[in-house]
Amino acid sequence: MTVKEIFDTMSYGPAPESAAEALAWLVDQGDRFGHFINGTFTAPGDGFNSQNPANGEVLATLTQATQADVDTAVAAARSAQPKWEKLGGPGRARYLYAIARLLQKHSRLFAVLETMDNGKPIRESRDIDIPLAQRHFYYHAGMAQLIESELPDRAALGVCGQIIPWNFPLLMLAWKVAPAIAMGNTVVLKPAEYTSLTALLFADICRQAGLPKGVVNIVTGDGAVGEMIVAADVDKIAFTGSTAVGRRIREATAGSGKALTLELGGKSPYIVFDDADIDSAVEGLVDAIWFNQGQVCCAGSRLLVQESIAERFHAKLRARMDKLRLGDPLDKCIDVGAVVDPVQLKTITDLVAANDAGATYQAQVDMPEEGCFFRPTLIEGLTPADRLMQDEIFGPVLVSCTFRTPAEAVELANNTRYGLAASVWSENVNLALDIAPKLACGVVWVNGTNMFDAAAGFGGVRESGFGREGGWEGLSAYTKPHAKSKALAQVKGFTGQGSGTDPIDRTAKMYIGGKQARPDSGYSRAAHDKSGAILGYVGLGSRKDVRNAVEAAAGAKGWSKTTGHLRAQILYYIGENLSTRAEEFAHRIDHMTGRRSGAKEVEASIQRLFTAAAWADKYDGQVHGVPIRGVALAMKEPVGVIGALCADEAPLLGLVSVMAPAIAMGNRVVLTASEPFPLAATDFYQVLDTSDVPAGVINILTGSHVDLAGPLASHMNVDAVWSFSSTDLSAEIEKASASNLKRTWVNNGTALDWDTDHSRRFLEAATEIKNIWVPYGE
């Protein structure tokens, strides 16, 4: 037998990892667990079994939390929070460092327990999950150390409710707990019902580290416990899980004032161009879709391969699939472990069985006789509309179609309701970096996949949720401004029976698509001054006016591709043109509001325009120093179409303060003018018409905020909605936004001080962070 024949025929011998230490730890706990509340474990109660999905063995019995348990945990967190925050960043950093070191000291115990509980191969939990969890605590210990100098104007939110999934139990815990407690918050965390054991081991680590009681609380149970946490007296909800549940959480928290981060589902494209290193791309695809049995929200589950190489690529892929090794996850030679639970296995099986499109190939591999295992599967030749090309399977199933041109690849990649991650494979760096910014997602990996680090934020757009985990942006999501907010007071316009101040018609139209437009409703209302005289008439906007304005904004998408320099020039031009008419606008504001602050408001508006222009080409991204031979480029991209209900009390400044930063970042806006004092906004059209603003970039509606809020918030082509109206519409907007999980910024019954320049906050809200990972080297 030749050496080649030996290599071709040799098989891997078993290399089992001992489970003795993990089993001993479980025995030491009595194989039964209560909750971890206020620094101690409660007595075990009625509950459910945690099973090893590879063999069905019962590992432990967990306690189903009751409403009383959740209330006790929240009360403990609330009691501990002020003292924990007062400890200061450096004081908190010491505890996070201690936790990180203990995670390292017990790393093998965590890895084995994670594999037994979840079913993933020991190589993955040992080499990826546990080191990344340690990394997050080290990284955020450093963040805590720096917060007082780097984020001096930010404060902790308070108590955070956190709900994590079963696919990365300890890593998801680290993603949420580390930044929360680093910033001075306390947490109540619910691990997944299927995989709670490493969270309970982590609780033991917190106790060993001497973490103050009540800072971290862990309650176990099913989805009903998650609902209790969402409804509890907490200040933030951080959820990772399915899009359907995320949508329900958005609706449940609407109007509550709770901060919300959602990291949801995905159907990530894996794009292979004809100049790619095919063998590397095949190997990368193995990691993209069969890593953790495909139970990864950002799994490269949609293969898009260029037509000219598709046949060769698929042939190599099928050959590689047949070499995958399935079996006992504790065997270090295993590639693919067990699906987490029989329920999930049935879901995957049913989805594949119901598909009658394309050609299905399943890996010709030895299958274990027991346990929740599913053959790695490839389904070729699907069309973009096929169900399995659109729905998240969350299992070891890859679907595939082809493309001809780069433009077609982008269209196919973006043809999904999700927007979490994408992989681009090409040896042409110009092509790869041209494609990456065009993809609608939060993370792009170039010639790689599933790269994560605490320094680089992770999260999505569209129905993959909003917010980021990790990095500076993930950190800020656990903070709020130090300044106290005043209660919102509704502002009402003047009424009267007086006649007009001028017999010439003064009916102001709306501004849609660069043109003045009559309201679709055909109705107008009078705007009066303090004495009751009529200053003019404005149209009453309706759902159809919202539709027309959003269509105009969508048609102006070229604005997002312009340079910051060009946007800055136009903003300066708007400011200059407003300045030449400053006296006229000041008089109008004084006449409408009955105040004498018009001149000050106009000058502040001019300064806001100049500030936004200054930032347009300077609000840059970052290059993160991630621990690979490569970089992660954190690029700031426009959100898209932003709908905003402008402040009533500052008719010009409230509109300009919203508009200027938004368009400076490349967004298009649909603005609803001050309801009681709309004429400053309608006068502003003339400034826009003389300032080279492209049609559709700025659209202004007038009318009732109550009537316009719902259509704006529920419109599927609006990407974000902001409300600064003196009518508190927060609940309605947040609930309606759940339709496509758009971002919201609402006032929750508090007023914003418009005399203060909040440009940085608006710039942050007007951008999405896309992390593009670019490895280098041979």
Residues acting as catalytic residues? 263, 297
- The number of residues in the chain equals 778
Q: Give the integer Cα–Cα distance in Å for 672 and 700.
A: 6
- Side by side, which strands form the sheet with 32-33? 32-33, 58-63, 47-51
436 neighbors 750 (Cβ within 8 angstroms): no
The Cα 598–Cα 583 span in angstroms is 9
Q: Yes or no: say if 190 and 164 are a contact pair by the CB < 8 Å rule.
A: yes
DSSP H or E run through 768: strand 767-775
Q: Coil, helix or strand for 500?
A: strand
**Secondary element (H or E) of residue 669:** strand 668-672
Run of H or E including 568: helix 564-580
Cβ atoms within 10 Å, residue 716: 10
The answer to whether the beta carbons of residues 222 and 241 sit under 8 Å apart is no
**Cβ contacts of 68 within 8 Å, gap of 6 or more:** none
| Closest to 191 measured CA to CA, from 170, 209, 212 | 170
Q: What are phi and psi of 306, to 5 degrees?
A: -65, 135
Cβ-based neighbour number of residue 623 at 10 Å:
12
CB atoms within 10 A of CB 187: 25
Give the CA radius of gyration of the chain: 28
Q: Cα separation of 100 and 316, whole Å?
A: 41
| φ, ψ (nearest 5 deg) of residue 760 | -60, -40
Going by their DSSP bridges, the two strands 236-240 and 259-263 should be labelled as parallel
Instruction: Tell me the HSE value of 12 on the side-chain side, using a 13 A CA sphere.
Output: 13
Going through 372-482 in order, the beta strands assigned E by DSSP cover 377-380, 397-403, 421-425, 443-446, 465-466, 479-481
* Pairing of the two strands 186-190 and 259-263: unpaired
At 369, list the tokens.
């006789």
Instruction: Give the residue carrying structure tokens 């080499």.
Output: 127
Tokens of 538: 């404005």
445 in Cβ contact with 422 (< 8 Å) = yes
